[in-house]
Structure formats: C-alpha cells, structure tokens
Structure 1
Amino acid sequence: MDALISKLQKRKSYLSNLENQVLEYILANPKEVSESTIEQLAEKLFISTATISRTAKHLGFKGFQELKYAILNYYDVERGEMNTARLAKEATVFGNNISKQIEKSFESLSESQVDEIVSILIHSNTIEVVGVGGSLPACVDVSKKLMALGKKATARTDWDELRAISKSLNKNDLAILVSLSGETIHIIEYATNYIERGVPIIAVVGVSESTLEKIATYTLKAFVEPVYFQDVDLSSRAALNSILDFILIRMAEWKKQDL
C-alpha cells in the first residue's frame, strides 16, 4: 500500500485545492474508498461525482473505478504478503519444534544399543511390525523397507490376525511394537503374548517408564510432542520415523559390508 500512497502523493501538484481534499480523504481512508461507489463518496465529501472522476484522472487513472481497482489490488498484495510472512513464521516454529524432537530422540540412542538392535534385525527369521492408529503408517513403511532388505516382515491391520500371530512366533523371530503412549491396550496384549513365547521385542515409544518399555527387550525412545484435536491424534511421527529410518539405514550398511 505504501507504494500506491507514494504514487498518489507525487501527483498532488497536478490537483486543484478541491481535488487535493479528495486525495487527502482517499489517503486517510483507502479501505472505505475501495468499498464505496462514486455516488457514496461524493455524498460523504459534499462534492459532485464529476470532481471525483476528475481527481482520479489527474492522479493518472482513467476514472474512479480504475482508482478503486488499484487500491483493492494493493490491499490484496498486502494481505498476501502478510499471510505469506505469517505462514513462513509458523512453518519456521513448527520446523524448529520437529527438529528439537528429532535431536532429543537421537540423544537417547547409544552405539551399543543401535548395534544390538541391528544385529537382532539381521538374524531374526520373521519380523512382525505392530502399531495401531496413527502409528500404523510408520509400521507399514518399516515392514516394506525390511522386505526390501531381504527380511520376511509384515505389518498387519486386522486385530484378530495380530492376536493370532502374537501367539505363533518364537524366540527366533522378532516383534517391533510401536506405541507413543506405551499403554495401548491391544499393543500390551500382543506384547504379553510375545513375552510368553520368548519372542524378543523392540519397543518404539514416546513416553518414559511406560508398560511397554518395561516389558520390552529393547526400547527406542522417540520424543514426540502430543497434539490432539478432540479425540483425533495429530501428533507428528517425524521423530519416530527418523529413528526407525536410522536403524534401517544402519542395517543396510551392515549388510553391505557382508557382501
């Protein structure tokens, strides 16, 4: 809007005293002028519509309608710039928050822990990746990557199948259980079944000292800031996904060395 105001002010010398009064009103009330008809503006200023038309022409426009369009256009640009700046600021805050979650998650890892987890992934016969709700997509992604790395891996969605498989694996297999709370009822049920059969468990959790963490063989802690809208879980799994990807990439590096 500043650019338009500057342009209009430069034309002041081309205007009569009455026209300058019209200009001053426009500069002081651009939003009101942009929303008024020429008749409404003339009535407010107690002048003729011809005077307003003449003022617009002396300001470099074809008429009042073109002047209104210029004001509206600058408002749109200004609003767009404000929205873009606001969005950029929000994106920066969000990105920094996610980066901190990821950084904190990796701080909890140790070299020996990573090596043990990679080793058991490589030597396990069957790998079941289990998660429900918002954690399920991460499980599906992990199972596909494990299969690409030559492992027999599955991420099932049917609860009855998950229950059945939790009662059929053995100590030579592996279960990866993903639960941000570490207290999900079904996940704890499956974990209990795995423990009873001697199946090693890698727990991926977002809360310390959870039930799942306490019974798991290995625990990967993802620091996730919970975000809920009513009962909908909108929490970002970026930190969780990053840790799992890191483990899988390390696994790929090990396999490459064995070739």
Structure 2
Amino acid sequence: MNIFLKKLQKKQETLSPLEQQVLEYIIKHPEEITQSRIHEIAEKIYVSTATISRTSQALGYSGFQEMKYALIRHLEDEQRPVYHPSKNLTQLAERIQRELTQTLQLIQQEALETGAKLLAESQRIEFFGVGSSFSCCFEAARKLTFAGRIADAREDWDELRIVANHLTAKDAAILVSYSGETMLALEYAAILKERKVPIIAIIGSKNTPLEKFASIVFHVEVVNGYYGEIDMSSRIPMHLVLELLILHYIESYVEQ
C-alpha cells in the first residue's frame, strides 16, 4: 500500500460505518476508482452517491471528483522515478543536477518576463507556501524586500487565509506547491482568484488543480524521494525558479 492510501486509512476511525465501507473499497481498488464514475461505485458497494460524496469530504476533499483526481495523481507518482536517499555525495549531486537541468528546460523566457513585470507593477507581493515549500517563500520574500519591494511570506495558516482575503487586483500572489493539490494551497488560490489577485504558481507536478487558478505557471522537475515515510523530495528546483524570477525583476526594473 502506498503512502497516500496509508494516509487515507488513518482517517478510518473518524468515519461512519458506511463511510468506512467506501474507504475500504477505495483502498482495495484504487485503480478501479480512477476509471469509474460515482454512480458506478455506488452500485457496486450498495451505497448512495451522497455517501461517497460525504466520505470524500471527510477525507479532506470537496467531493468525489477531487478525491478521484488526487488518487490519479498519486498513482501516477508511483510510476515516476523514486530515489532512495543516501549519504553518497555523487548520487546526490547527480540527482540534483538532473532536476535542475530538466527544470531549466521547462522554463519559458516569456513567462519569466511576464512574471517580472507583474512583480514590478504590484503594490505588494505575498508568498503562499505550506510545509516544506515555506522555506522557498521565505527566502524569496526576503530577497524581494532587499530589492525594494513590499513582500512577505507567512507561516501561520490562518494568517495566510486572512492575507488572501485582503489582497486586491493591484497586488500579486506567488504560490509554491510540490503537489499542486494541497488543500490549503487550493483554498488560498480560490480566495485569491475570486478577489482577482494575479497568481504566479510554481508547481512540482503537471496538470494539477492549482494550475486553473494561476495567471502564470512554472513547472519544476522534482524526483520523489522518501526515507521510510519521510518526504525527502528536494525543493531546490523551486528555489531556482524563484531566483530566476527575482533576477529578471531586478535586471529589468531596478536601477543599479
């Protein structure tokens, strides 16, 4: 059983008996779930579609479709290269080099220029990143502050929500997310989108829910890495994109 399904299983005790039945079926037949519609699953396990929707919500998703999409993404991740962290410096250097090289190939010059212009024209810049992504945001906000911009990165989840609700179309938001499907990141993005705040998204996976909220999207190449159940995946490619974006802003809009 992969880590994603194990995380779902841990929520079993909080579910009702019928919801536990739905979760058990999801865990035993994940690939079937990704290829089925909600009414087809309901007929097979003799529950209502409403029960499946409630189960999906209890697991932290807005509904069956979002849960199904997350499951698809994680099954795809199982097929992606996975490295096993070690103290071998050569192996570590080779992995990072591959990630950086592939990330650079994904970056479009036009996106960097558009992003730099957005930074220059915005009244304030707020970074949104939770968990391991926060360090990328903190460092980038610090550099923009030294470059003369009003920029901030906040770690508290509730504070991020409040900030999202106060930004306007004259500001800019930069969202950093490895998966592109973190519930908090999607919540903040939805708020920002509703308030017409321009969004730059830096994401470690393609075709994610976060992309539909963004004005500009940068994809980075990150190889999955786990030491046991500890996520050891690198955030260095995200730092690289932010570094290039800030450098483009400084070179184009800051008087030397």
Do both proteins adopt the same fold according to a TM-score greater than 0.5, normalized to the shorter chain?
yes
Contact 2:112–2:244 (Cα < 8 Å) also in 1? no
Contact 1:127–1:173 (Cα < 8 Å) also in 2? yes
How far apart are residue 92 of structure 1 and its match? 1.5
TM-score (norm 2): 0.64
Q: What CA distance in whole angstroms lies between the structure 1 residues aligned with 2:109 and 2:240?
A: 16
How far apart are residue 98 of structure 1 and its match? 0.7
SS at match of 1:227: strand
Contact 1:182–1:207 (Cα < 8 Å) also in 2? yes
TM-score (norm 1): 0.63
Aligned residues: 171
**Sequence identity, in percent?**
33
Q: Does 1:172 align with 2:170?
A: yes
- Of the three residues 206, 222, 225, the one matched with 2:223 is 225
- Post-superposition Cα deviations, 1:182-218, rounded to whole Å, max 9, x if no partner, equal 0000010000000000000000100000011122111
Larger helix fraction of residues: 1
Q: Does 1:121 align with 2:119?
A: yes
Contact 1:134–1:233 (Cα < 8 Å) also in 2? no
Instruction: Give unpaired runs (5+ residues) of structure 1.
Output: 1-85
1:1-259 equivalence runs, <5 A? 90-256=88-254, 258=255
Q: What CA distance in whole angstroms lies between the structure 1 residues aligned with 2:131 and 2:227?
A: 15
Larger Cα-atom Rg: 1
Q: CA RMSD in A?
A: 1.5
Instruction: Give unpaired runs (5+ residues) of structure 2.
Output: 1-85
Q: What CA distance in whole angstroms lies between the structure 2 residues aligned with 1:121 and 1:230?
A: 40
- Post-superposition Cα deviations, 1:101-125, rounded to whole Å, max 9, x if no partner, equal 1111111111111110000011111
Q: What CA distance in whole angstroms lies between the structure 2 residues aligned with 1:229 and 1:93?
A: 15
Structure having greater relative contact order (Cα 8 Å, sep ≥ 6)? 2
Q: What CA distance in whole angstroms lies between the structure 2 residues aligned with 1:201 and 1:94?
A: 33
